[in-house]
Structure 1
Amino acid sequence: MSRGRTGRVGGRGLKGRVLPGLLPVFALLAGCSESRRDLAPSGRAADLAAPAPFVSAARETGEAKLAYRHDLTLGLGPDRVEPHFAAARDRCLKEAADCTLLRSSIRDGGGASQPRAQIEVRLKHASVAAYVAFLTAPLPGEEPGDVALIAQETRAEDLTRTLADTGRRLAQLNDYRNRLTVLAEKPDNRAEDLIKIAGELAQVQSQIEEAEAQRRGLDQRVDTEIVTVSFRTHQARAGAFAPVWEVWARSGPILGDSAASALRFTVASLPWLLIGLLAVLLLRLVWRIRRQRAQPARVRLEP
């Protein structure tokens, strides 16, 4: 009886010591589970609240800074390259507010060579589609099939990080300039200190102007798009001897390439010619030595 009573008393004492210690833990777990139930949405709402995977923050918020560039190649008749080139150039010059002519060149097809032209313009986003439609449309008096879009390419360069780095650099330079200005306004500065501060201010100001020019250039690339158009003929000149005339027109470059190849071969062969000459001289010397050694033996064998 005493032993059993002691066991019961010991068990009650153990429970009395353990349970009060576990109560705070149970309370903490219960509070965590209730807070999770309050924060977590249920059913379809939880699925809708989950973010889409593999989507960058810049793309979600529309903060990506992209610089677009378009390259087009138009095929025209030999006598239609110049009119289309002039029309594309004049349209850009007339719409100077939305279009900037960056580069233009044309080469007449003298003889049997084919004429070609190229134009490069900078346009605002809203003007790109209309300008491309004008380029690919036939001019008055032409048929719809007279203008052929041979190739088209669009490239985009992400300038988000470059613009952010430039902005941070500008902020740091402006802060440094402000601190230098505060130092320069102190009344207890010596003459040599003022000279050093003035030189540092001039250098920082130059760096700030350079960074601002770089940022303006990047902003311009983001706010506009560059369109490069190449006008080429896709019809050969008429006549059975058109290939002959084409080669004759390009005879100068062909002759120059052939002369350059021959000169390159000659210069590259000079070391090998010297090595070959030395090898021939050595072979002749060896042959003479062997011939001189063999001649006395023949004389002794004769009766």
Structure 2
Amino acid sequence: MRFPIFLLAFSLLLSGCSSKDEKSAGNAQVLENRPPPSVSKPAGPRTLAYEHELSLQTQETKVAALYEKTMAQCLADTGHRCTILLAQIGSGVSYDARSTVTARLTLRATPEGIRNLQKTLSSGNRILKQSTKAEDLAQPMVDNEKRLAMLEEYKNRLNTLNARPGTDLDTLIKLSKEIASVQSELESAKSDAAKLAERVNTEVLRIEISINSEDEEGLMSPVKSACQKFIRHLAEGISIVITALAYILPWCIVLIPLLLGIGRWRRGKVKLR
């Protein structure tokens, strides 16, 4: 009796396991056929206007070359609508009387064009500062769209009135003037819309290039700098002496006769005694 009972229990166990496997397989099939969760993407047009700042240092002999190379890259990048808004290069004197060369560029291009410029400028140069700021133009864009819609509707109404037969001459003249005024406002609103679109569809990159003060500085650099400025320092010293003489000579003309007179007066006083 024990052997048949054992067989009966073993068969019940196998049927239970098979039902569980079929159930789990069915659940797996349901999960496999379920569509993936949807990923929410930002909808609507761009409304942020980005401006980037990049301050870097390079060797003194490479400042002008990097300046020219960046301008040439921008002018050649017509696909990303790169435009030069500002280009400036000049030299000056730093706090330690060393000559400095700085260059400034302000460029406008599509986001991809700005990334290419940043990548080129960052290669092989020392980055001092890099920042990005954005201005939200959503409200100005919405306001301008409403303004355009209102002006278009108003213009259509004026054109309808102007097309009516039997309108007197005075009314036609007033309607023509009003239509011309509305048309002018429409052109201005369309220009503003184009400027706003340009700001959000492109980005601005402000670049400042300066000399790397730590570049190629060795043990003898102070001596070299002093030798280079010896003639200038000598001339400055001579100019200081000449300036001092110019201040002293008038006093000598007054003080020397005065001192001589005082000396004679004292000698005469001693003789009288």
Query: Shorter-normalised TM-score: what interval?
Result: 0.5 to 0.7
Q: In 1, distance between residues paired with 2:58 and 2:194?
A: 38
Report deviation, 1:64.
5.2
Q: In 2, distance between residues paired with 1:91 and 1:80?
A: 16
Q: In 2, distance between residues paired with 1:170 and 1:119?
A: 35
The question of whether the paired residues in 2 share the 8 Å contact of 1:70 and 1:227 is answered with yes
Asked if 1:120 corresponds to 2:106, the answer is yes
Question: Equivalent residue of 1:182, what SS?
Answer: helix
Greater displacement, 160-169 / 112-121: 112-121
Q: In 2, distance between residues paired with 1:92 and 1:105?
A: 15
The question of whether the paired residues in 1 share the 8 Å contact of 2:48 and 2:136 is answered with yes
Q: In 2, distance between residues paired with 1:69 and 1:149?
A: 17
Asked if 1:217 corresponds to 2:195, the answer is yes
The question of whether the paired residues in 2 share the 8 Å contact of 1:117 and 1:231 is answered with yes
- Residue equivalent to 1:102: 85
Asked if 1:151 corresponds to 2:133, the answer is no
- Residue equivalent to 1:73: 55
The question of whether the paired residues in 2 share the 8 Å contact of 1:78 and 1:233 is answered with yes
Report deviation, 1:154.
0.2
Deviations 1:252-290 (A, max 9, x none): xxxxxxxxxxxxxxxxxxxxxxxxxxxxxxxxxxxxxxx
Instruction: Give the TM-score, by structure 1 length.
Output: 0.55
Question: Equivalent residue of 2:100, what SS?
Answer: coil
Which of residues 123, 137, 160 in structure 1 aligns to 2:123?
137
For residues 185-204 of structure 1, what are the structure 2 equivalents within 5 Å? 185-204=163-182
Runs of 4+ in 1 over 4 A off after TM superposition: none
The question of whether the paired residues in 1 share the 8 Å contact of 2:46 and 2:201 is answered with no
Report deviation, 1:131.
1.6
Distance 1:124 1:174, change over 3 A: same
- Residue equivalent to 2:18: none
Question: Equivalent residue of 1:69, what SS?
Answer: strand
Structure 2 counterpart of 1:132, one-letter code? Q
Q: In 2, distance between residues paired with 1:91 and 1:121?
A: 11
Q: In 2, distance between residues paired with 1:152 and 1:203?
A: 47
The question of whether the paired residues in 1 share the 8 Å contact of 2:90 and 2:101 is answered with yes
Instruction: Give the TM-score, by structure 2 length.
Output: 0.61
Structure 1 counterpart of 2:199, one-letter code? R
Q: In 2, distance between residues paired with 1:186 and 1:60?
A: 48
Q: In 1, distance between residues paired with 2:44 and 2:174?
A: 45
Q: In 1, distance between residues paired with 2:175 and 2:113?
A: 49
The gaps in structure 1 that reach 5 residues or longer are 1-58, 139-146, 249-303
Q: How many residues align?
A: 181
Q: In 1, distance between residues paired with 2:71 and 2:143?
A: 37
Distance 1:62 1:196, change over 3 A: closer
Deviations 1:103-149 (A, max 9, x none): 111003578331000111111122222221011113xxxxxxxx100
Distance 1:61 1:96, change over 3 A: closer
For residues 201-280 of structure 1, what are the structure 2 equivalents within 5 Å? 201-235=179-213, 238-239=221-222
Deviations 1:58-110 (A, max 9, x none): x9535551001100001112222111111101101111231111111100357
| Identity across the alignment (%) | 29
Distance 1:184 1:62, change over 3 A: closer
Distance 1:82 1:133, change over 3 A: same
Question: Equivalent residue of 2:61, what SS?
Answer: coil
Distance 1:61 1:97, change over 3 A: closer
The question of whether the paired residues in 1 share the 8 Å contact of 2:46 and 2:200 is answered with no
Question: Equivalent residue of 1:201, what SS?
Answer: helix
The question of whether the paired residues in 2 share the 8 Å contact of 1:64 and 1:158 is answered with no
Structure 1 counterpart of 2:85, one-letter code? L
Q: In 2, distance between residues paired with 1:137 and 1:118?
A: 18
Structure 2 counterpart of 1:78, one-letter code? E
Report deviation, 1:186.
1.1
Q: In 2, distance between residues paired with 1:63 and 1:106?
A: 37
